[in-house]
Chains A and B, each alone.
Chain A
Amino acid sequence: QKEVEQDPGPLSVPEGAIVSLNCTYSNSAFQYFMWYRQYSRKGPELLMYTYSSGNKEDGRFTAQVDKSSKYISLFIRDSQPSDSATYLCAMSVGTASKLTFGTGTRLQVTL
């Protein structure tokens, strides 16, 4: 079993929809939680970063962490075609910041 599980999708939604992306993890020691966005043939780009349970909002994006359930989510409001990409959750523990990634969810936002 992988330490971090993520539904690979693809997930197709109409423009304007609210998108929910999720990851579960098994290592309760994880301290830091991230969401990256990756466009085709590009490097991952950091979207959201949090280290505590609860919600963190940045514009149309909200990251949610529930450490008791070992579950993290990314919500995208008013989704746009430009949000079409692969979304990767990542988490780390310890001073070296070694990231453990989910496999990524491919999102397609249609007009």
Chain B
Amino acid sequence: DAGITQSPRHKVTETGTPVTLRCHQTENHRYMYWYRQDPGHGLRLIHYSYGVKDTDKGEVSDGYSVSRSKTEDFLLTLESATSSQTSVYFCAIRSGSTAYNEQFFGPGTRLTVL
């Protein structure tokens, strides 16, 4: 499982509330990613990080922010959750220092926004 954990694994929240999802890795990988998975869309990149305090946007970043204050943790925040953010969220790490290295995924967080 490449030492990736996600928390919480399931969450139900109400529209307008803030939500933070955590991705934790144990192997000091530099690159970390957040994706969301929705029927008919596959997985889409939200944000990614290439080092502590170094982050950039992905394809579907609106409504999301991220932070990485330590190598091992990458946080995804929904400042004010909306029903369109109901999804399954996956964190991933890249296993090495080159673009050739593979990405491995965590177990996912299932988020429901009512």
Contact = CB atoms under 8 A, between A and B. Distances in A.
B56 A44 contact: no
B99 interface: yes
Contact of B48 (A6, A34, A96): A96
A60 interface: no
Contacts, number: 63
Interface in B59-98: 59, 90, 92, 94, 98
Contact of A96 (B31, B40, B41, B105): B31
Interface in A24-42: 31-32, 34, 36, 41-42
Nearest to B6: A43
Interface string B39-61: 01111110010100000101100
Contacts of A97: 31, 94, 99, 101, 103
A101 B43 contact: yes
Contact of B58 (A8, A98, A103): A98
A51 B102 CA distance: 11
| Count class of interface residues, chain B | 20 to 34
A23 B57 CA distance: 25
Interface stretch (A9-17, A64-72, A87-95): A87-95
A63 to B, nearest CB: 13
B99 A104 contact: no
A94 B105 CA distance: 20
A32 B96 CA distance: 15
B106 A51 contact: no
Contacts of A99: 33, 35, 43, 45, 92, 103
B48 to A, nearest CB: 6
Contacts of A95: 98-99
3 nearest A-B residue pairs (beta carbon) = A43-B105, A101-B42, A103-B42
Given A41-B108, A43-B106, A44-B90, 8 more contacts: A43-B90, A43-B105, A44-B105, A90-B43, A97-B94, A97-B99, A98-B58, A101-B44
